[in-house]
Amino acid sequence: MKLGVVITASFCTLKKVLVVLKSLKEEGYDLYPVLSNKVVDYDTRFGKAKDFVNEVESICERQIVKDIVEAEKFGPMYKMDAMVVLPATR
């Protein structure tokens, strides 16, 4: 199943998001990560943006989508079975 995963900022929960992504991957989902520009660009006390992006790409086994031009391709070009928006809540 193709699953688009949109990750937005609540920086304190991003480590939980990684756990969710790993679980979804283990369940056999084909993950397509879309990250907000804040998640891609901002280093915080919760970690460096580059490290988070690298981990997401490693888990999903594909590069992130990080801009609106690429994200607009979901639907007409990249058919998803579902899209979910994360982060996990506290």
Farthest CA pair distance, the chain? 38
Each residue of 7-60: pLDDT tens digit?
Answer: 988 899 999 999 999 999 999 999 999 999 999 999 999 999 999 999 999 999
Instruction: Give the pLDDT score at 90.
Output: 52
Q: Tokens 């790993």, residue?
A: 22
- Determine the CATH number of domain 2-86: 3.40.50.1950
> Structure tokens of 89?
């809540």
> Structure tokens of 77?
């070009």
Each residue of 68-81: pLDDT tens digit?
Answer: 888 888 877 888 89
Angle (deg, nearest 10), helices 14-26 and 49-60: 10
Instruction: Give the pLDDT score at 89.
Output: 55
Question: How far is 26 from 79, CA to CA, in rounded Å?
Answer: 21
Instruction: Give the pLDDT score at 25.
Output: 97
Q: Which amino acid is at 90?
A: R
Chain-centroid distance, C-alpha 41: 14
